[in-house]
Amino acid sequence: MAQVSNKETVYNFIGGEWTVSSATDSLSIENPATRETLGRVPLSSAADVDAAVAAASRAFPAWRETPAVERARILFRLKELLEENAQEISRSLTLEHGKNLLETRGELQRGIENVEHACGIPTLMMGESLEDIAAGIDCVTYRQPLGVFAAITPYNFPVMIPMWFWPYAVAAGNTFILKPSEQDPLTHQMIVDLSTEAGLPPGVLNVVHGAQETVTALLDHPGIVGISFVGSSQVARLAYAKAAAAGKRVQALGGAKNHMVVMPDADFNITNEALIGSLFGSAGQRCLAGSAVVGVGEAYDKMRERFLDSANSLTIGYGLDEGTEMGPVISKPHKERVLGYIDAGESEGAKLILDGRDATVDSYPEGHWVGPTVFEDVNPSMKLGSEEIFGPVAGLSRVKNVDEAVDLIQQVEYGNATSIFTSSGKAAREFRYKAGISMIGVNVGVAAPMAFFPFGGARGSFYGDLKAQGSDAISFYTDRRVVIERW
Ligand code: NAD
């Protein structure tokens, strides 16, 4: 199995072989807590993408003809192998991403659930039929795979997010190319090796590493029929437009600014725990992380002190160390970006009540630390109140009622997730009805992606129509072919 080790060069995986990229440039991959160099990732060229497309295209006819039950059996074996190797995978993920072991184990589990769901492909891929659609004429639909698909994925869930896509695509009989994030591409290599061990034939799953140039080559490539993208909205928009212009199916999941709405009748213990997990888990680097906390009426004063105390007492540290509740952010540029938002919040007039800018961890002085940070009096006219920060920064605000909370949410361009905390079914229903957001939590801080349900945002958080996971994944990766028969 591929191991995460010092100074490792990352290889592309093409046609079942780990292959040296033709790239002339590479980037360093480092542990964001210790700053140890873990390897170098090549910035693959269009020629590398051509090679991957050629391998995936060669593998497609035989894989498509492999019965769905046999394709599913390979995924059953993969699920077992992922579980057997869970500890090692989670550890590797903590090394290159920074989140703690509980979080990386959770990430892997969510990934495994997609493999489990894709194991149902013989049922999921069934078509429909109607006898005598006209006298003596029958009509049948068959779901057929389309060819070579590709996914481009972000750094924040480098194991789970690729598994939102490729297990469904290959279960359905397509072949696949993954372009993982260049910031933490190591751990997914283990999963590729386990897929080979499970019996996935050469060329069915390919990996090409790189950044912008590699992505452009994938988006434009005539041999690729569809693109699944996850990342910031800025790049999601670009990927959507470019791939659609090249005639491909596209689903592009973008960034987020998620509001947590707290009602006066909420259970404040449960709510506080959920808020802390949502805003500061994974150092705020989740597209489902809460970012704005909206207190309705007297809820604001009831939650403020409790939230502030809990945020202030979180243990920051190295994800492999016992007791670490919050790890570092991914890189120096990202830390600077987050600090920039904190500076902007101050100059825009928000009130800084907990400042994480000077956070340090004694044993790892060079780590990319940002402590929990809390502002109050935040509103959507501020950068702090409207833009995605992707760090452990909370913006508190108060409103009078649910309608004002919904109005505030709708002033922001994103529509990924939101949550309400209440003991009133009426308030929850009203909120769900009006929020206009795709993922809605009720007394839950993270309305997490569940493999059996579709996942993706609204408005500026999603470009496309069929979402990731659930039945949408099967629709995205197949075409329904209609046969009308008279004998
Ligand atoms: P990013 O947009 O910088 O990168 C995502 C992918 O796009 C990477 O593979 C990267 O190599 C590629 N890329 C980056 N810039 C590019 C460019 N100019 N042209 C072509 N390709 C380019 O995102 P990130 O920093 O890796 O991840 C964080 C972002 O992802 C956040 O905005 C977060 O909200 C979002 N995200 C969204 C979801 C979701 O489900 N909606 C899930 C996870 C993360």
**What pLDDT, on a 0 to 100 scale, did the predictor assign at position 4?**
46
| Nearest alpha-carbon partner for 338 in 349, 325, 329 | 329
Q: Which atom of ligand 1 is nearest to the CA of 181?
A: 9
Our answer on whether the CB atom of 255 is closer than 6 Å to any ligand 1 atom is yes
Residues in Cβ contact with 359 at an 8 Å cutoff, skipping those fewer than 6 apart: 316, 369, 370, 371
Extents of the domains making up the chain: 12-254+461-486, 259-442
127 Cα distance to chain centroid = 30
- Average pLDDT across each block of 10 residues of the chain; the chain has 487 residues. List them in order: 57 96 94 96 97 98 98 98 98 97 97 98 98 98 98 98 98 98 96 98 98 98 98 98 98 98 98 98 98 98 97 98 97 98 97 98 97 98 97 98 96 97 97 97 96 97 98 98 97
Considering 95, 119, 170, 287, which one is annotated as catalytic?
287
Q: What is the CATH number of domain 12-254+461-486?
A: 3.40.605.10
**What pLDDT, on a 0 to 100 scale, did the predictor assign at position 9?**
78
Our answer on whether the CB atom of 461 is closer than 6 Å to any ligand 1 atom is yes
In the residue annotation, 139 being an active-site residue is answered as no
**What pLDDT, on a 0 to 100 scale, did the predictor assign at position 98?**
97
Name the residue at shortest CA distance from atom 23 of ligand 1. Answer: 231
Our answer on whether the CB atom of 227 is closer than 6 Å to any ligand 1 atom is no
**What pLDDT, on a 0 to 100 scale, did the predictor assign at position 1?**
52
Q: For the chain, how far is it from start to end, CA to CA, in angstroms?
A: 54
CA dist 412 to 15, 193, 231, Å? Answer: 44, 42, 18
- The CATH number corresponding to 259-442 among 2.20.28.90, 3.40.50.10860, 3.90.1150.10, 3.40.309.10 equals 3.40.309.10
- Pocket probe mutation, ligand 1, options 49, 230, 285, max atoms within 8 Å of Cβ: 230
444 Cα distance to chain centroid = 18
Looking at the chain, how many residues does it have?
A: 487
Name the H helices within 366-465: 383-386, 402-410, 425-434
| 284 neighbors 390 (Cβ within 8 angstroms) | yes
Our answer on whether the CB atom of 258 is closer than 6 Å to any ligand 1 atom is no
